[in-house]
A and B are shown apart, each in its own frame.
With several copies, the nearest count.
Chain A
Amino acid sequence: MNIGILVNEGPYTHQAADSAYQFASAALREGHTIHRVFFYHDGVYNGSSLTEPPRDDRQIVERWSTLAREHHIDLVVCVAAALRRGIREQNLAPGFRISGLGQLVESGIQADRLVVFGD
């Protein structure tokens, strides 16, 4: 099955970004494909290349980049939400791209399921 994911919250502050990652990983292990992970609202902060959490903590941004690289997952940050919050090409982590809300709606249309994680 082809599953779309929407992430509405940033890394570390709310568990939503963790839950979305764990869910995506499990879906891949179960043999499904991830149509796209779309980051909206504070979710755009998941794409910041400048985060530097404590070394003994999980590396949320890097974890997304690795997932994208190893499984060819499309990670899309909403352009309007990102501009408002200071995420641009210059501080965008590997594996993420910036695009419009049409990519979220498209995921709703094309994926078999759309699962939302937020606060």
Chain B
Amino acid sequence: MTMAGEEKAGTVKRFLFVNRKAPYGTIYALEALEVVLIAAAFDQDVSLAFLDDGVYQLLAGNDPAPIGMKNFSPTYRALEDYDITKLYVDRESLALRGLDTAAFIVPVSVVDRGQMAAIMAAQDVVLSF
């Protein structure tokens, strides 16, 4: 948030971060989060979409210590401190995987496919990793 002033004259764009990959098997989820925080620091209008295997990123109770990795779930909790509250989760992706947002680490908005498609269509910049 401190670096927000270093560039552009107040342009605010709608940035959507699309998360479709499971955590830990690849680094994309973790490195995507780093961009999300920077986009917030630039005072952009940030949304996150979780669909397909991306929904696994939000499960609570991760314990990657036995495989020598760091649990990065706390970063999702920190999003609120950056005023990032638009987290959209695809309902059908949850259902197909037998998951429920009750097991999620942060509050999210569950949307159906039509709503998710509309959210995607309304963006200025879409980042996928």
Q: Which residues of A contact B (CB under 8 A)?
A: 6, 8, 12-15, 18-19, 21-22, 40-41, 56-58, 80-81, 100-102, 104-106, 108-110, 114, 116, 118
Contacts and interface: CB of A to CB of B under 8 A. Distances in A.
Contacts, number: 80
Interface string B1-23: 00100111001010100000000
B122 interface: no
A116 B8 CA distance: 22
B47 to A, nearest CB: 13
A58 B69 contact: yes
Interface of B: 3, 6-8, 11, 13, 15, 24-28, 31, 34-35, 38-39, 41-42, 44, 67-70, 124-129
B72 to A, nearest CB: 10
B41 to A, nearest CB: 8
Contacts of B28: 8, 41
Contacts of B68: 18, 21-22, 58
B116 to A, nearest CB: 18
A57 B124 CA distance: 34
A108 B13 contact: yes
Given A8-B28, A108-B127, 8 more contacts: A40-B129, A41-B28, A56-B70, A57-B70, A58-B70, A102-B7, A109-B44, A114-B127
